[in-house]
Amino acid sequence: MNSITPAKSLSYLDSTPKLSVPRKICHQPNTSQVCNIKSIYKQESRNFSAGLVANRADWQTSCAILASNVVSQQSTGKTYGGNAEIVSINGVHQALDLVPVQQNNNLALPLSITDLSPAPMHGSQLRVAYQGVPGAYSEAAAGKAYPKCVAIPCDQFEVAFQAVQHWIADRAVLPVENSLGGSIHRNYDLLLRHNLHIVGEVQLPVHHCLLALPGVRKEDLNRVISHPQALSQCESTLTKLGLNVAREAVDDTAGAAEFIATHNLRDTAAIASSRAAELYGLQILADGIQDDLSNVTRFVMLAREPIVPRTDRPFKTSIVFAHDEGMSVLFKVLSAFAFRDISLTKIESRPYKNRPIKAVGDANTGAAKRFEYMFYIDFEASMADPRAQKALAEVQEFTSFLRVLGSYPMDMTPWSPSNRGL
């Protein structure tokens, strides 16, 4: 695994609690609030870099102050304008190009280094929020995406999004799909609710172990706890191991290991990484218990600003759209890519939360109702590629809502099932 700064030891863990949900978030743009966020951010970043956050209470107080004073960068009037033809953001149709401009004077801002590179070059370490505690696969993914980063544990996905929006973190690295367990729907919904941009992806081979306190045997176990994805990825293997015991879902794999250690549970095992075993003093009862050796989780990297799309290496673009006209539109949208020879790598649908059901036909005669969806599509082309721009211009004609979630380099790192991952 790549070396990442936090969580070198349990004592560091103790002094660096996970972020939790802030009490109050202000969504109204306000210049003085933006000043506050920057000064608090600087103070917090000093604390983080030096590992100086005194205790959980201090940190949570800082988070609460931060949450009640700050606004996201998105709400300060920054938007993207220019000549491009495409997109609508949160239902409002807008032109898309990737040069930030100020709404009030329409002057183009110079590109910053963050626009050009996924990692900052200003000397300080990149702070990367992830969901879980040290030893979680998401922490490993953060390390793979940003080697030498400071990884910030968050107790929920939502908190990781907010950490980036509120400048506590520079990036978030969050799982979106697993080759065995499927999509992590919560993160698809959160991508839509927040205005962060996908700036990269990383695929992590996930190698699960069954962990228990030293001296505990399989026969002593009454339950197995882990993240729901990990439980589903190991379902048949647990049965094959004769572990027909209760299976309980917890927030993350490493958190399950930590829970067993802190509560001295001799009848419970966790599904987690070998690194979690080391961190929390557990023994490995069984190694490689995922149902398929090719168990890979795909994570996306999120930032406040998009990166500039390029064509000199393979790029992927993620979009989300909705439409009013029934399923024939989906066919037309897919055709816009097929006609231009653009491969789709993923399609996902989620309920359209504000209007999940639509009456079809004549309401007086007991009309049929159909479900309404948001569709998420990943396709293999950069937004700098004219084929992608033309396809999206066409998609926009068929859809009532279209947003580009990000255009970013594809993770091309080779991996094989024999890669042990974590």
Ligand X SMILES: O=C(O)C(=O)C[C@]1(C(=O)O)C=C[C@@H](O)C=C1
Residues in contact with ligand X by the rule CB under 6 A: 132, 136-138, 175, 178, 184, 206, 227, 229-230, 252-254, 297
Count of helices and strands (H, E) across the chain: 13, 21
Distance between CA 77 and CA 75 in Å, rounded? Answer: 6
Whether 346 contacts 376, CB under 8 Å: yes
- The CA–CA distances, whole Å, from 122 to 45, 48, 296, 311 equal 14, 16, 33, 26
Smallest distance, ligand X to C-beta of residue 318, A: 18
> What is the β-pairing status of strands 246-249 and 223-226?
parallel
Distance between CA 73 and CA 79 in Å, rounded? Answer: 10
Smallest distance, ligand X to C-beta of residue 254, A: 6
Is residue 297 among the annotated active site residues? yes
Whether 236 contacts 246, CB under 8 Å: no
Smallest distance, ligand X to C-beta of residue 337, A: 28
Task: Look at phi and psi of residue 116 and say left if phi exceeds 0, alpha if psi is from -120 to 50, else beta.
Answer: alpha
Which neighbouring-strand residues pair with 171?
128
Distance between CA 252 and CA 256 in Å, rounded? Answer: 6
Q: Which is nearer to ligand X, 5 or 226 (CB)?
A: 226
Torsion of CA 152, 158, 161, 166, to 10 degrees: -80
**Which candidate in 48, 157, 161, 299 is catalytic?**
299
Beta strands in 49-111 (DSSP E): 78-80, 88-89, 92-93, 100-102
Q: Which is nearer to ligand X, 16 or 253 (CB)?
A: 253
Q: Which is nearer to ligand X, 306 or 421 (CB)?
A: 421
Smallest distance, ligand X to C-beta of residue 270, A: 10
**Which candidate in 5, 237, 297, 399 is catalytic?**
297
User: Distance from first CA to last CA of the chain, Å, rounded?
Assistant: 7
Q: Which is nearer to ligand X, 152 or 230 (CB)?
A: 230
Smallest distance, ligand X to C-beta of residue 138, A: 3
Smallest distance, ligand X to C-beta of residue 351, A: 20
How many beta carbons lie within 10 A of that of residue 31, not counting itself? 10
Per-residue tokens: 196: 């962060």
Q: Which is nearer to ligand X, 72 or 229 (CB)?
A: 229
Q: Which is nearer to ligand X, 206 or 330 (CB)?
A: 206
Smallest distance, ligand X to C-beta of residue 274, A: 12
Q: Which is nearer to ligand X, 262 or 354 (CB)?
A: 262
Q: Minimal CA–CA distance to 391: which of 319, 339, 325, 324?
A: 339
Distance between CA 33 and CA 14 in Å, rounded? Answer: 31
Is residue 321 among the annotated active site residues? no
By annotation, the residues acting in catalysis are 297, 299
